[in-house]
Amino acid sequence: MPDLAVLRMLSNLIDNAFAHGQGPVRLHVAIYPGHCALMVHDHGPGLSAEAFAAARQPFVQLSPSGQRERGRGHCGLGLAIVDQLAQQLGGALLHQQPEQGGSAIGVRLPFMRL
């Protein structure tokens, strides 16, 4: 996989988890036949399916006042960039709502042939 693209996706996902969720923030990597899943879990209030769909759109900010309070300069592009990069690599953006709460957002990426 292209290192820069994967680093950009993980950076955006981890930054979002710290900005919008609560710690601890964990990265899970799972390997499957033909693809892998990189998931970032946080313990914040969670994200509904509707909010997740909205957050995938460029420049959509779900809680701009909360971002300003935390001193973050977000512009609503994080998940849109992750979604676009994942699709360009033949993958997909993923969203899970764990039973124990919080959010799990990540990507499924196919293994590339060398």
How many Å from the N-terminal Cα to the C-terminal Cα in the chain?
Answer: 9
- Looking up residue 68, the CATH number of its domain turns out to be 3.30.565.10
**Residue 39: per-residue pLDDT:** 97
Burial grade of 54 (CB within 10 A; 0-12, 13-18, 19 or more)? middle
- The mean pLDDT value for 32-37 works out to 94
- The mean pLDDT value for 79-100 works out to 92
* Total of domains in the chain: 1
pLDDT in tens, 45-80: 888 888 888 888 877 666 644 444 444 556 667 899
Paired sense of beta strands 92-96 and 26-32, if any: unpaired
Q: Which range marks the domain in which residue 10 is found?
A: 3-110
pTM of the model: 0.81
Percent of residues, the chain, with pLDDT higher than 90: 50
